[in-house]
């Protein structure tokens, strides 16, 4: 454009010089535009050494020295920040911990072993200021998980929580991959359902705005506690289905293991022959997701294994190195009976396993995940398949207990036999309002499934004590921030 | 075991013969066990010709002939069923349309061109009966989408709906892949939120059971209408985030395009420079998901393009072959003004675009998706970025309109400038109860995002008229089946 202008008109020297200046500014701008935009994780690979790049992110540290200033800039793409080296002239009072910056310069090999790459800055622009006095996080301070939990709108800016979110994202992807690679069809089971799952009381009920209708759906509706019924519907046409989404409990609980809204992975498999068809999938999901997370988020996981629960890495590796033992409920009761431990709750055959029992059993089995199978028939819901055994009457149900957390998965073969299901529904006084029996009338097949609590899975792998620290926005009684 | 027994003891001829019989039965059982279990889609590849296999599924057709009986068995792994050929002796009165079967036999090359592979049955076991008189689907009948919609617990057993579910699963996976491959971190934004999004009225409120608390969360809580606020939180630490989950509207609508619960893909991008940063991602998601679905679900998509909306394939290909035009709202108004079409609603600058306008604009642009940008400032919510232009005051917002459906995506750059945001919140009488302003205080960056209605996307690609036919369990006013 500038060249064309200069050729066409005859111009004075002054005008030519002005043109030249404008041309050079334009050229410089153009060159700036060709700085390759890189994410921090891409810059850190070192693949672009010598390149003119632009990096954008938030300042994690500022270290002014005599001639130079050193910054660390993080953009959430990795735990590691990119070191920026700049001439002191580029310093700016607004360049503070927490501020947002855009840096252009040349990627160079760093002399420090810890940082193979650094960015020699040519330009630093403060995009967004951050007053360090008001910012609730302080430079070089390690803030506790309890402290950052109070700041749900800012805690993603800490190392620990941004690591958690990257791990959560990778674990989610790994679980989807597992199911996809194994021929499962993903079903988006609904959040709002007219199925109150056995008439249990701990349900949220959504109500519409008053001006629409008192009863928006014309039938009682609830926030789902499980997608099982909807997956069982799909098990009449697909041999393998799964769902992964939010589920709800209106429990007035302040425990470290419960939330009012949490994510659950649920799978349903048709043409099952035994509980082994389920335990195999549960174990495989656990293994493949965990191996994937350890490989793809090594640094992030390391942060938890070093600073949050030192030594937890060994526990995780022990889990992966052994196959998960399978013991029956009856064997579990025998183990508890013959132990010298004093339990608060009874350990008689027919009693529910309590947290203290679950912990003992996991320890007893070598602190690895353990399957407990074939629970007393009367402890399990109406849909659990009757083992028709005597004198100890059991159902084909299975739980997976894991170190530190207790129950991670619960599942069962489902009663596919119409006459047995009808009899049991009648016995427990439930009506088939959900067309459940119809599913047994038209090509019913032996099937079974399970649910895995995703937050508990993360607690187990990372060694995080409180479930509120592994979900972006925890909901529990008396708390719904943001 | 049998051999050992025979060697150790000296036995009579009769006993030996009995042993032999038992041995042979055991051997046969053992051999049966070694039949490779195959899914129908695996069998159809033809990779295992000659193999002894076991296939399990539901009978889609039964055709008894003089010497043979022909079955089609489907297990949901593909639209195509596997043809079974069996000796008439294997026929069974329970072998009816809809029944569940397990077939073992040898995979052979078929003489028919349509079915490259067939299973020569050695054994057919009816696993679950299906009385064809009571079964609401009839053999060889094509049931309308309206009819099968009335049977949410069974409609997955029709060709059309099982195809839809496979497509939905693949499209979901393709969208996740796009974001993962492009450096987005997946965030599980919450379903229950205290954010009532601009005080809009169409919200569900979850109430806990009476015995827990009248106000479970101590603050008013709602079912989310958008994860934007929660993604914006994350945009303070990650340069690219997304979410994909259920969202809710308590709208008393019976339209073909609205549901009370629907799935939305939302993305938020930091360090944006212009709306182009958003339109690029919207267009790329659309293209990559659609190309993926067309490639991986060719037969399933074909069913819709042939039988549901004949000719729709051409529309879809036209969308993929052109880049999506971008026109400003002001240009759109000019186009509407200069058209000879008679519209019901006004087309003056400042008026909202209505469905009739959207349809006209899409047609005008060649029946391909079209972006409309820079809407009147006063039409857009408080968070849309002020373009600070005059005299026509606009905001940096963008919608994507698509053939047959209308609005598929809506997005905007977000107002990142604290003073402008504060002034606007004050002007519209909203308070910052959600810490929104805090996000602009500590390293605020230019950012923007959008939401894509997943069901509308499926409608657009498949040519499905009613949104209730592209979601497993549709929820709308006065309807919440299962």
B325 and B411 part of one domain: yes
Mean pLDDT, to the nearest integer, of B106-129?
93
Dihedral angle computed from the Cα positions of residues A432, B151, A189 and B297, in that order, rounded to the nearest 10 degrees: 150
- For position A2, what pLDDT does the model report? 34
Task: Read off the pLDDT band of B197 (50, 70, 90).
Answer: low
Task: Decide if pLDDT at B116 tops 50.
Answer: yes
Q: For the segment A175-229, what is each residue's pLDDT rounded down to a tens digit?
A: 999 999 999 999 999 999 998 765 566 889 888 765 455 689 988 899 999 999 9
Average pLDDT, chain B: 91
Confidence of residue A12 (pLDDT cuts 50, 70, 90): low
Question: For residue range A416-440, what is the model confidence (pLDDT) as tens digits?
Answer: 999 999 999 888 887 776 788 999 9
**Domain co-membership, A103 together with A210:** no
B397 within domain boundaries: yes
Q: What is the CATH number of the domain that holds A60?
A: 2.40.50.140
pLDDT given for residue A157 in this prediction: 96
pLDDT at residue B202, rounded to an integer: 85
Contacts of B74-77 spanning 24+ positions with Cβ under 8 A: B74/A237, B74/B40, B74/B162, B75/A238, B75/A239, B75/A270, B75/B39, B75/B40, B76/A185, B76/A237, B76/A238, B76/A239, B76/B156, B76/B162, B76/B166, B77/A183, B77/A238, B77/A239, B77/B39, B77/B40, B77/B41, B77/B42
Task: List all residues of chain A from 378 to 417 with a beta carbon under 8 Å from chain B.
Answer: 416
Helices (H), ranges, B182-236 = 228-234
Residues A223 and A165 in one domain: yes
Q: Which residue of B169, B190, B219 is in closest CB contact with A473?
A: B190
ipTM given for this complex: 0.92
Q: How large is the average pLDDT for residues A68-78?
A: 97
Kindly state whether residue A321 falls inside one of the protein's structural domains: yes
Cβ–Cβ contact B130 with A under 8 A: yes
B224 and B279 in a single domain? The answer is yes
Rounded percentage of chain B residues whose pLDDT exceeds 90: 82
**Residues B292-329: tens digit of each pLDDT:** 999 999 999 999 999 999 999 999 999 999 999 999 99
CATH number assigned to the domain comprising residue A187: 3.30.930.10
Q: Does any CB of chain A come closer than 8 Å to the CB of residue B183?
A: yes
Instruction: Work out the percent of chain A whose per-residue pLDDT is above 70.
Output: 91
DSSP A135-189: -SS-TTPPPPHHHHHT-TTTGGGSHHHHHHHHHHHHHHHHHHHHHHHTTPEE---
Q: How far apart are CA A302 and CA B166, in angstroms?
A: 38
B130 neighbourhood in chain A, CB within 8 Å: 441-443
CB contact under 8 A, A204 and B205: no
Does residue B123 sit in the same domain as residue B204? no
| Lowest-confidence region among A132-141, A427-436, B182-191, B213-222 | A427-436
B40 φ, ψ to 5°? -55, -45
- B234: in domain: yes
Q: Which residues contact B270 (CB under 8 A, 6 or more apart)?
A: A56, A75, B235, B236, B238, B239, B240, B445, B446, B447
- Asked if residue A184 and residue A119 are part of one domain, the reply reads no
Inside any domain, residue B124: yes
Residue B15 pLDDT level (bands cut at 50, 70, 90): low
pLDDT at B114 over 90: no
- A 52-81 → B contacts, CB under 8 A: 56-59, 74-77
pLDDT in tens, A229-240: 999 999 999 999
DSSP one-letter code for B325: P
- Shortest CA gap B404–chain A (Å): 24
Please answer yes or no on whether B472 and A230 come within 8 Å at the CB atom.
yes
- Do the Cβ atoms of A75 and A53 come closer than 8 Å? no
| Cis before A392 (ω within 30) | no
User: Do the Cβ atoms of B233 and A152 come within 8 Å?
Assistant: yes
Mean pLDDT value across residues A349-353: 96
Distance from CA of A330 to the nearest CA of B (A): 29
Preceding amide of A391 cis, omega within 30: yes
A103 and A170 fall within a common domain: no
Identify all chain A residues contacting B234, using CB atoms and an 8 Å cutoff: 156, 165, 472
Residue B208 has pLDDT above 90, yes or no: no
Quote the pLDDT of residue A116: 87
B315 lies in some domain = yes
**How many C-alpha atoms does B106 have within 13 Å on its Cβ side?**
3
The answer on B200 and B95 residing in a single domain is no
Per the domain annotation, does A394 fall within a domain?
yes
CB atoms within 10 A of CB B211: 9
The single-letter DSSP state of residue B134 is T
Q: How many residues in total does chain B contain?
A: 482
Q: Is B130 close to A212, i.e. CB distance below 8 A?
A: no
On whether both B95 and B167 belong to a single domain, the answer is no
Chain A CB contacts of B239 below 8 Å: 39, 56-57, 75-77
The Cα of A371 is separated from the nearest Cα of chain B by a number of Å equal to 25
CA dihedral defined by B107, B109, B113, B119, rounded to 10 degrees?
Answer: -20
Q: Who contacts A30 (Cβ-Cβ below 8 Å, separation ≥6)?
A: none
Burial degree of A246 (CB within 10 A; 0-12, 13-18, 19+): buried
Model pLDDT, residue A251: 86
* Structural domain boundaries enclosing B94: 36-128
B432 reaches A (C-beta below 8 A): no
Query: What are B165's two structure tokens?
Result: 């579910």
The confidence score (pLDDT) of residue A467 equals 97
The angle formed by the CA atoms of residues A139, A143 and A144, to the nearest 5 degrees, is 175
Measured CA to CA, the distance from residue A469 to residue A163 in angstroms comes to: 12
Task: Decide if B194 touches A, using CB distance below 8 A.
Answer: yes
If one compares A398 and A34, the residue with the highest pLDDT of the two is A398
Residue B108: inside a domain: yes
Taking the CA of residue B347 and the nearest CA in chain A, the distance in Å comes to 30
pLDDT digits (tens, 9 = 90+) for B130-154: 999 999 999 888 899 999 999 999 9
Are A324 and A382 in a shared domain? Answer: yes
* pLDDT value, residue B199: 56
**Which secondary structure element, helix H or strand E, spans residue B142, and what is its range?**
none
Residues A233, A293, single domain; the answer is: yes
Q: Is residue A210 domain-shared with residue A68, that is, in the same domain?
A: no
> Nearest Cα to B204, choosing from B432, B476, B435?
B476
Would an 8 Å CB–CB cutoff place A212 in contact with chain B? yes
Tell me whether residue B147 is in a domain. no
Region B218-238 average pLDDT = 95
* Per-residue pLDDT, B30: 54
- The residue written with tokens 């390149």 in the block is A51
Q: How many domains does chain A have?
A: 2
């Amino acid at each position: 454009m500038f060249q064309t202008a200069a050729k066409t008109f005859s111009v004075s020297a002054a005008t030519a010089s002005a043109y030249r200046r404008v041309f050079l500014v334009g050229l410089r701008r153009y060159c700036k535009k060709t700085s390759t935009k890189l994410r921090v994780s891409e810059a850190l690979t070192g693949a672009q050494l010598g390149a003119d790049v632009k990096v954008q992110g938030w300042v994690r540290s500022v270290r002014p020295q005599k001639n130079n200033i050193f910054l660390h800039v993080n953009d959430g793409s990795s735990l590691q920040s990119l070191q920026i080296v700049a001439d002191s002239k580029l310093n700016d009072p607004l360049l503070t911990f927490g501020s947002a910056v855009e840096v252009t310069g040349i990627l160079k090999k760093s002399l420090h072993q810890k940082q193979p790459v650094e960015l020699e800055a040519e330009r630093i622009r403060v995009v967004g200021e951050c007053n360090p006095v008001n910012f609730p996080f302080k430079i070089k301070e390690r803030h506790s998980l309890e402290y950052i939990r109070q700041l749900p709108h800012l805690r993603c800016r800490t190392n620990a929580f941004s690591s958690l979110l990257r791990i959560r994202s990778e674990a989610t992807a790994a679980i989807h991959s597992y199911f996809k690679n194994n021929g499962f069809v993903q079903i988006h089971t609904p959040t709002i359902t007219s199925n109150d799952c056995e008439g249990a009381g701990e349900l949220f009920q959504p109500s519409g705005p008053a001006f629409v209708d008192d009863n928006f759906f014309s039938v009682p509706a609830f926030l789902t506690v499980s997608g099982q019924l909807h997956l069982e519907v799909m098990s009449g046409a697909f041999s393998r289905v799964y769902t992964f989404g939010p589920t709800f409990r209106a429990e007035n609980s302040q425990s470290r293991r419960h939330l009012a809204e949490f994510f659950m992975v649920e799978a349903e498999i048709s043409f099952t022959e035994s509980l082994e068809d389920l335990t195999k999938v549960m174990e495989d999901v656990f293994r493949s997701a965990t191996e994937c997370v350890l490989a793809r988020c090594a640094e992030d996981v390391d942060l938890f294994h070093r600073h949050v629960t030192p030594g937890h890495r060994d526990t995780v590796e022990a889990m992966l190195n052994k196959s998960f033992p399978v013991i029956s409920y009856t064997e579990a009761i025998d183990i508890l009976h013959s132990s010298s431990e004093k339990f608060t709750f009874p350990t008689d055959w027919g009693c529910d396993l309590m947290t203290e029992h679950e912990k003992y059993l996991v320890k007893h089995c070598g602190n690895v995940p353990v399957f407990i199978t074939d629970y007393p028939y009367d402890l399990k819901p109406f849909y659990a398949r009757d083992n028709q055994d005597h004198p100890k009457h059991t159902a084909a149900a299975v739980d997976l207990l894991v170190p530190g957390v207790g129950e991670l998965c619960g599942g069962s073969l489902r009663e596919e036999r119409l006459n047995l299901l009808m009899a049991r529904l009648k016995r427990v006084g439930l009506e088939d309002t959900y067309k459940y029996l119809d599913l047994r009338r038209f090509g019913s097949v032996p099937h079974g499934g399970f649910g895995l609590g995703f937050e508990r899975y993360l607690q187990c792998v990372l060694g995080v004590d409180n479930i509120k620290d592994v979900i972006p926005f925890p909901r529990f009684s008396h708390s719904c921030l943001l």
